[in-house]
Amino acid sequence: MVDKILRLGFMKQGFALLDGLPKSAVLALSLSLVLGTGLIEGRIAPGLSLLVVYLLPIAFATWFMGLRPGLAIALLSGAVTAAAQILLQPNVQMPQIIASSWNAIVLVAVGGIVVDLLHRVKVADAIGQELSRIDAATGAINRRFFLELLEAEFNRAERYKFALTLAYIDLTNFDLLNEQLGHQAGDELLYQFIEQLSQALRSNDVVARLDGNEFALLLPQTNDVQAQQVFTRLHPQMKEVLKVKSMHLEYSIGVATFLEMPDTFEELAAETEQLLKTVKSSGKNSLKYQIFPEDF
């Protein structure tokens, strides 16, 4: 039975068509479907089993509103089907009352299974989506999600004429650290490094791991003066956390402040990447600021 229900499409692919509906609309739709199905069952097609039809509003409520609303709609569906088969039928005899009551119990039980399954799918989907955005070793967001956030922040800055600062950080000799001290030591160092950055920044700033030893900081609504204040504070903290016995870890930082947005968000990343390359070629443990557009 459960396999049949899942094959009928009570899964996330079908619900994607209704994403964005307010909960009030989902509730109204679910109640309308339950009551409408009860009316059909009681007046238009008495004797016709509509169990699968009742499962539709149960699934709607669960997917879009949560576990408890789904269970509530399942109980309501059981009550409505019992009323449709007993109260809306003429000359109801005891065997029919027993059969109708049993059908209602079965509907609530099957509805409960559907609610549980869909709730588990929704939770697993949310966890999977969250994990797909996070770098497992450091807890920082990964490149893919970072680019999504960068595009969103670019659009916001362009619309409201905000400044935006983007910084790329490259850690040197990190591969050598992994070779000499092991990958676990390297992961622990990166985790501490990300923790230090996250604690020193605002809650709306973004820390990302772009590659094995390359990181990015996105500072929304941050001009060149504010950016220099941030990195003046961060610089000594970074040196401290990157101290490793018998190793000489170095880094390069390119800090690009965009007072006006370029044509595309990809240009933000490209300009900052080029700035980082310039910094790396000029020496280690160095930091360079640049304002864009350059003639501003």
State the pLDDT at residue 1. Answer: 45
| Statement to judge: residues 45 and 180 lie in one domain | no
Distances in Å between the alpha carbon of 82 and those of 50, 71, 165?
12, 17, 63
State the pLDDT at residue 249. Answer: 76
| Statement to judge: residues 78 and 155 lie in one domain | no
Residue 39 lies in a domain: yes
Residue 243 has pLDDT above 70, yes or no: yes
Report pLDDT digits (tens) over 151-205.
999 999 999 999 999 999 998 877 777 777 777 877 888 888 899 899 989 999 9
d(CA 189, CA 207): 16
User: What residues make up the domain containing 82?
Assistant: 2-131
Residue 88 has pLDDT above 80, yes or no: no
| Statement to judge: residues 22 and 84 lie in one domain | yes
Extract the runs of DSSP E, i.e. beta strands, from the chain. 164-172, 206-209, 214-220, 250-258, 286-292
Report how many domains make up the chain.
2
| Statement to judge: residues 228 and 162 lie in one domain | yes
Residue 137 lies in a domain: no
The tokens of 235 are what? 């610089």
Residue 210 lies in a domain: yes
Cβ contacts of 236-242, under 8 Å, gap ≥ 24: 237/196, 237/200, 238/193, 238/196, 238/197, 239/285, 241/189, 241/192, 241/193, 241/196, 242/171, 242/189, 242/193
Q: Which domain-ending residue is among 131, 153, 182? A: 131
Residue 191 lies in a domain: yes
| Statement to judge: residues 121 and 179 lie in one domain | no
State the pLDDT at residue 45. Answer: 63
Residue 138 lies in a domain: no
The tokens of 180 are what? 């000499």
d(CA 106, CA 92): 20
Residue 288 sits in a domain of what CATH number?
3.30.70.270
pTM of this structure: 0.65
- Percent of the chain at pLDDT > 90 equals 47
| Statement to judge: residues 99 and 161 lie in one domain | no
State the pLDDT at residue 57. Answer: 92
Tell me the backbone φ, ψ of residue 100, rounded to 5 degrees: -65, -40
Averaged pLDDT of the chain: 85
In this predicted model, which residue has the larger pLDDT, 226 or 51? Answer: 226
- The partner residues of 220 in beta bridges, in order of sequence, read 164
| Statement to judge: residues 127 and 147 lie in one domain | no
| Statement to judge: residues 224 and 84 lie in one domain | no
Split at pLDDT 50, 70, 90, the class of 22 is confident
Q: Which of 185, 177, 174 has the alpha carbon at shortest distance from 246?
A: 177
| Statement to judge: residues 154 and 234 lie in one domain | yes
**Angle made by CA atoms 36, 14, 46, in degrees to the nearest 5:** 25
Mean local confidence (pLDDT), 71-100: 85
Q: Which domain-ending residue is among 98, 131, 164? A: 131
d(CA 206, CA 163): 15
In this predicted model, which residue has the larger pLDDT, 136 or 30? Answer: 30
Split at pLDDT 50, 70, 90, the class of 138 is confident
Give the contacts of 250 (CB within 8 A, at least 6 positions apart). 171, 172, 173, 284, 285
With 0-12 / 13-18 / 19 or more C-beta atoms within 10 angstroms meaning exposed / middle / buried, residue 138 is: buried
- The partner residues of 164 in beta bridges, in order of sequence, read 220, 258
